């Protein structure tokens, strides 16, 4: 299996660990970055196009494809799913198609597709300014959600409880999304749909994250994970637990909703990362992305449900039916969290051996490094990394996770300090 991985603008070293998983699973992996750094991947299987414009990416990919004859093209980046669809079509490789990719990337187009096909979703409205946002909030009723159409990783997603908060937050979010890294990593020259802010009605129940596959129109839920965060005004403080607390009837309801959403988005063969929230006892779609979930959700799927999203990406990219089954938990409990700290410039991150070498840790990934600037809401949603632990129960795994997280030390300099 010979695969090409693509990013229009390289997201640091964030996806290297997943690329290594692909290689470990037996693929010969080549990497093409539009804008990237040297030595990111072995030299004989790595190229930099020197541009993030889609025409240049297609040209570079075609030239390489003529030499290597790739079996498929992949990405793990939300910012690259549309570019990959365009390049796959240009190379004659399997893919979801540019239109389905655009619908699955742009939250407004996704919502319109859900509306048009009867997939349960919150009320929504694209808003050009704070007055339009205020009118939408009054129509929907507070609290509401303010979010970008082309966001990712909960950047600039806010729960708004009243008009005063909306007037204070809207201009910060409108300014922030223009410099949002996930938007800046998109390929240039592609119609991505509207770039702006949406107001959505608030869904007041619990949230669940699903790793799934749709193959020839049939959806398979591979993994179902509970989001157990004590919820506040932003949605980046993720704490996850698996196996899910949902019963069989609730899992079946989630399956119906994800199936409706996948069909609405025009997806017949794709890996899916779905986020679902219950509202008044019924599941509603927050989104369905066409790549695996971030953080350690791929590892959680393997441990708690014997489902491998990475292997599924590889198979689907080549047009091969992946090994899929309907959700069946293994009985192992895990918890996982985003590592957060206060805002500032990182001077040092210290991860002691009792954390890094613990046999209870199944996932530890520090994505930040000294010199990075950590921004917290409303200015941004920077994280330090991820930590996941195993246990005999939710309580056991969570206690260990919190104890180990407290031992990670971060030294910060306030932003603006000349040091």
The larger pLDDT score, comparing residue 19 to residue 240, is at 19
Q: Cβ atoms within 10 A of the Cβ of 94, count?
A: 18
> How large is the average pLDDT for residues 243-253?
95
Both tokens of 410, joined, read 């971060």
Given a contact cutoff of 8 angstroms between Cβ atoms, the answer to whether 413 and 347 are in contact is yes
pLDDT for 270: 98
Question: pLDDT confidence of 76, banded at 50, 70, 90?
Answer: very high
- Whether residue 142 is predicted with pLDDT greater than 90 in this model: the reply is yes
What's the whole-model pTM score?
0.86
pLDDT for 368: 85
Given a contact cutoff of 8 angstroms between Cβ atoms, the answer to whether 152 and 192 are in contact is no
Q: Please, what is the average pLDDT of the chain?
A: 92
State pLDDT tens for residues 195-239: 999 999 999 899 999 999 999 999 999 999 999 875 544 444 578
Q: Measured in whole angstroms, how far is the alpha carbon of residue 349 from the centre of its chain?
A: 25
> How large is the average pLDDT for residues 242-263?
96
pLDDT for 253: 97
Q: Cβ atoms within 10 A of the Cβ of 12, count?
A: 14
pLDDT for 328: 93
Nearest to 337 by CA among 361, 314, 307: 361
pLDDT for 122: 96
- Whether residue 390 is predicted with pLDDT greater than 60 in this model: the reply is yes
- Residue 247: DSSP 8-state: -
The residue assigned the tokens 């001077």 is 347
> How large is the average pLDDT for residues 394-399?
87
Helix (H) or strand (E) holding 271: strand 269-279
The larger pLDDT score, comparing residue 14 to residue 57, is at 57
For 275, the 3-state DSSP assignment is strand
pLDDT for 234: 45
State pLDDT tens for residues 174-188: 999 998 888 999 999
Which residues are within 8 A (CB) of 121 and not within 5 positions of it... i.e. 6 or more apart? 111, 114, 115, 284, 285
- Whether residue 297 is predicted with pLDDT greater than 80 in this model: the reply is yes
pLDDT for 131: 97
pLDDT for 114: 98
State pLDDT tens for residues 18-75: 999 999 999 999 999 999 999 999 999 999 999 999 999 999 999 999 999 999 999 9
Given a contact cutoff of 8 angstroms between Cβ atoms, the answer to whether 141 and 287 are in contact is no
Strand partners, 56: none
pLDDT for 279: 94
Q: Cβ atoms within 10 A of the Cβ of 13, count?
A: 12
What distance in Å separates the CA atoms of residue 261 and residue 253, rounded to the nearest whole number?
A: 13
Cα dihedral 100→101→107→108 (10° resolution): -50
Question: pLDDT confidence of 417, banded at 50, 70, 90?
Answer: low
> How large is the average pLDDT for residues 234-257?
86
Nearest to 32 by CA among 44, 19, 47, 43: 47
Strand partners, 390: 334
- Whether residue 340 is predicted with pLDDT greater than 90 in this model: the reply is no
Both tokens of 3, joined, read 């695969």
């Amino acid at each position: 299996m010979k695969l090409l991985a693509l990013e229009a603008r390289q997201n640091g070293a964030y996806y290297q660990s997943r690329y290594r998983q692909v290689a470990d699973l037996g693929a010969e992996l080549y990497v093409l970055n539009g804008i990237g750094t040297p030595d990111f991947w072995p030299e004989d299987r790595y190229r930099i196009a020197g541009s993030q414009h889609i025409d240049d990416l297609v040209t570079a990919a075609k030239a390489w494809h003529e030499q290597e004859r790739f079996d498929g093209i992949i990405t793990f980046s939300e910012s690259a799913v549309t570019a990959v669809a365009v390049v796959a079509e240009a190379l004659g490789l399997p893919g979801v198609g540019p239109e389905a990719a655009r619908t699955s990337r742009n939250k407004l187009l996704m919502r319109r597709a859900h509306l048009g096909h009867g997939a349960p979703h919150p009320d929504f409205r694209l808003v050009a300014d704070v007055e339009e946002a205020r009118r939408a909030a009054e129509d929907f009723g507070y609290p509401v959600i303010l979010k970008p159409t082309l966001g990712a990783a909960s950047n600039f997603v806010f729960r708004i409880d009243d008009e005063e908060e909306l007037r204070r937050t809207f201009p910060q979010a409108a300014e922030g999304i223009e410099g949002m890294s996930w938007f800046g990593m998109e390929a240039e020259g592609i119609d991505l749909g509207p770039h702006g802010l949406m107001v959505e009605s608030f869904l007041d129940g619990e949230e669940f994250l699903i790793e799934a596959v749709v193959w020839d129109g049939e959806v398979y839920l591979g993994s179902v994970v509970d989001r157990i965060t004590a919820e506040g005004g932003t949605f980046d403080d993720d704490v996850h637990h698996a196996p899910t607390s949902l019963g069989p009837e609730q899992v079946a309801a989630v399956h119906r909703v994800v199936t409706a959403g996948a069909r609405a988005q025009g997806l017949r063969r794709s890996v899916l990362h779905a986020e679902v929230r219950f509202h008044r006892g019924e599941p509603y779609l927050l989104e369905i992305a066409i790549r695996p979930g971030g953080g350690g959700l791929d590892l959680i799927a393997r441990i708690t449900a014997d489902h491998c999203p990475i292997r599924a990406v590889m198979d689907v990219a080549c047009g091969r039916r992946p090994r899929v089954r309907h959700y069946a938990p293994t009985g192992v409990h895990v918890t996982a969290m985003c590592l957060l700290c206060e805002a500032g410039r990182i001077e040092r991150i210290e991860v002691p051996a009792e954390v890094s070498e613990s046999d209870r840790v199944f996932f530890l990934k520090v994505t930040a490094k000294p010199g990075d600037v950590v921004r917290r809401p409303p200015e941004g949603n920077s994280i330090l990394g991820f930590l996941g632990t195993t246990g005999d129960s939710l309580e056991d795994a969570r206690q260990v996770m919190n104890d180990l997280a407290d031992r990670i030390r971060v030294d910060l300099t306030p932003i603006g300090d000349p040091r």
